[in-house]
Structure 1
Amino acid sequence: MLEFTWKVFADTGNIDTYLLFKELERDRRQDRYEREEDPADADFSIT
C-alpha cells in the first residue's frame, strides 16, 4: 500500500496523497516499534 500511495503521489503531485503516504509510513514504523517491544516485555519479570 505504501509503494502504491507513493507512486500515485509521484504521478499526480497531489498533496493529499502525500499526506496519506506520510500517515501510512508513520503507522508502519509505530507498528514495527510496538512489535519489537513485545519480546522484551516477556523476558522481563519482577520477582
Structure 2
Amino acid sequence: MLDLSWKVFTNTGNLDTYLLIKELERDSETVNESQQTSGSDLSIDSSSQ
C-alpha cells in the first residue's frame, strides 16, 4: 500500500496522498510496537504457569 501511495504522490504531487503515506507509516509503527510488546507479554505469561 505504501508503494502505491508513494507512486501516486510522486506522479501527482498531491499533498493528501503524502499525508496518507505518513499516516500509514505511523499505523505500521504502532502495530509493530504492539506486536513486540504482546509477544514479550506472552512469554512472561507462559513461563509463570
**Whole-Å Cα distance in 2 between the matches of residues 32 and 40 of structure 1?**
13
TM-score by length of 1: 0.83
Q: What code does the residue aligned with 2:20 have?
A: L
User: What are the residue-to-residue correspondences of 1:1-47 with 2, within 5 Å?
Assistant: 1-44=1-44
Please state how far the C-alpha of 1:41 moved relative to its aligned partner.
Answer: 1.1
Task: Give the fraction of aligned pairs with identical amino acids, expressed as a percent.
Answer: 46
Gaps of 5+ in 1: none
- Aligned-pair Cα RMSD in Å: 1.4
**Whole-Å Cα distance in 2 between the matches of residues 16 and 24 of structure 1?**
12
Gaps of 5+ in 2: none
